[in-house]
Amino acid sequence: MPHPPETRTVALVTLGCARNEVDSEELAGRLAADGWELVDNAAEADVAVVNTCGFVEAAKKDSVDALLEANDLKDHGRTQAVVAVGCMAERYGKELADALPEADGVLGFDDYADISDRLRTILSGGVHASHTPRDRRKLLPLAPAERQDAAVALPGHGQGPVDLPAGVAPASGPRAPLRVRIGSGPVASVKLASGCDRRCSFCAIPSFRGSFVSRRPADVLGETRWLAGQGVKEVMLVSENNTSYGKDLGDIRLLEGLLPSLAEVDGIERVRVSYLQPAEMRPGLIDVLTSTPKIAPYFDLSFQHSAPDVLRAMRRFGDTDRFLGLLEQIRAQAPEAGVRSNFIVGFPGETEADVAELERFLTAARLDAIGVFGYSDEEGTEAAGYEHKLDPDEVAERLARVSRLAEELTAQRAEERVGETLSVLVESLEEGELVGRAAHQAPETDGQVQLTSSAGLAPGMFVTAKAVGSRGVDLVAEPLDALGAAR
């Protein structure tokens, strides 16, 4: 009688954004379905799979460092192979493999459906040829309505059979999510779409993530129900651009109809939407985000700058006054709404007057969280070929200057919230103190709430609390009563 194949262990190390986290959990689902044992510690795994980020230089460096660190485990641990997946692997393919021989494999998105076979080949000493990168926008029809049936790999969209191991998918449903939770916290992301049709001159993401493709509402709902069954209390909808959701399904307002359905999922207490484009915001979407129970009045708006000339050079739209008008419209309907955004300083051709205009916007906008980045060329982007590049020292000076202002302004905004009554999701116990987030705070990117008392509370519970102080962007709050039981 033949012996059963040896169970192999795998660890997934995820870098980058929440979209990558969803992709890692889909890979985990595929591997678990094929008999792999998932472990948390790469040192205890036969294969360490590093889900890389390829967005900016700092993220690329972090990805390379993670691959090298995992490779070190081969000298004194169980680890036999280190494999790169994710955006950096997709973007550079064979070039990354040649530059980083420490990686035993570099797998692109097209390899995800066969991830188990790829890893077994690598473990057995075989070689899987790394792909030659290509512009993934060209793999899909130009017309959005024709994209749904295209046979193109879309990480995070995976649907699997129903006969998967316990914990991998629901017990029934023809299109169950092919996903395993890697973490155990009360918050999880759900991918709403993949790719982007915008052509911002500084951004390379569409070239390696492809054109915009929505997931079908039934799949998003099914995955949310499954996550609720796993103990998740808050879901965050992620994609490169959530305001475009539904454009390829025949209804650009599809998100407005989907959100109330997600809020009704038993066990889910909060739904958060991220990655919103200011130029695509609609009155109806603002209405739903500000008035639907369990939908967080939270606006992750991608402003990037506010000086008109800089925005036009970025291939974006708007200006200071239009953006302030949008914020005024939001706050007229939900004064407590949370708003965050990212900004690029030092863009080619940016003048001191442009920086002053950005500072005017930031000062008036009252944002809860602000990310500021210094411009650097990204290969393959339009802006990389622009003239009038600023000296790196000038970019660094402007970055430091605007970052200081952003830190002061977000601290002031937190102070303004003292006295507010908050609905706080308790997330973790840190040094004997319970820490959570209010509706205006997204995971990792924004501030958090430190609760003054832990009596009767535990991670996974919602508690009504009053903000009694602030520490930078963070709030200190006194619990009033618990709203939900932990799972």
pLDDT confidence of residue 374 = 97
Residue 268 marked in a binding site: no
Q: How far apart are CA 442 and CA 299, in angstroms?
A: 10
Torsion, Cα 51 55 58 62, to 10 degrees, reads 0
Residue 17 marked in a binding site: yes
Residue 416 marked in a binding site: no
First-to-final CA distance of the chain: 44
Residue 483 confidence class, pLDDT cut points 50, 70, 90: very low
Cβ atoms of 354 and 310 within 8 Å: the answer is yes
Residue 285 marked in a binding site: no
pLDDT confidence of residue 484 = 42
Residue bearing tokens 């103190």? 433
Residue 233 marked in a binding site: no
The C-alpha angle with vertex 469 and arms to 459 and 362, in degrees rounded to 5, equals 100
Residue 72 confidence class, pLDDT cut points 50, 70, 90: confident
How does pLDDT run across 243-282, given as a tens digit for each residue? 999 999 999 999 999 999 999 999 999 999 999 999 999 9
Strand order in the sheet with 369-374: 298-300, 338-345, 369-374
**Residue 482 predicted with pLDDT over 70:** no
pLDDT confidence of residue 7 = 81
Residue 168 marked in a binding site: no
pLDDT confidence of residue 69 = 82
For 479, phi then psi, to 5°, come to -60, 140
**CATH tag for 183-417 (out of 1.10.8.80, 3.80.30.20, 3.40.50.2300, 2.70.70.10):** 3.80.30.20
Residue 137 confidence class, pLDDT cut points 50, 70, 90: very high
The two most distant CA atoms of the chain are separated, in Å, by 79
Side-chain half-sphere of 425: how many Cα atoms within 13 Å?
27
* Domain extents in the chain: 9-130, 183-417, 420-479
How does pLDDT run across 335-393, given as a tens digit for each residue? 999 999 999 999 999 999 999 999 999 999 999 999 999 999 999 999 999 999 999 99
* Stated pTM of the model: 0.91
Query: Given its phi and psi angles, is residue 246 left (phi above 0), alpha (psi -120 to 50 degrees) or beta?
Result: left
Distances (CA, A) of 233 to 258, 274, 459: 18, 17, 10
Residue 487 confidence class, pLDDT cut points 50, 70, 90: very low
Q: Domain 420-479: what homologous superfamily?
A: Nucleic acid-binding proteins (2.40.50.140)
Q: How far apart are CA 66 and CA 82, in angstroms?
A: 10
The C-alpha angle with vertex 290 and arms to 286 and 294, in degrees rounded to 5, equals 130
**Residue 205 predicted with pLDDT over 90:** yes
**CATH tag for 9-130 (out of 3.40.50.12160, 3.65.10.10, 1.10.3210.10, 3.40.980.10):** 3.40.50.12160
pLDDT confidence of residue 159 = 65
How does pLDDT run across 12-38, given as a tens digit for each residue? 999 888 899 999 999 999 999 999 999
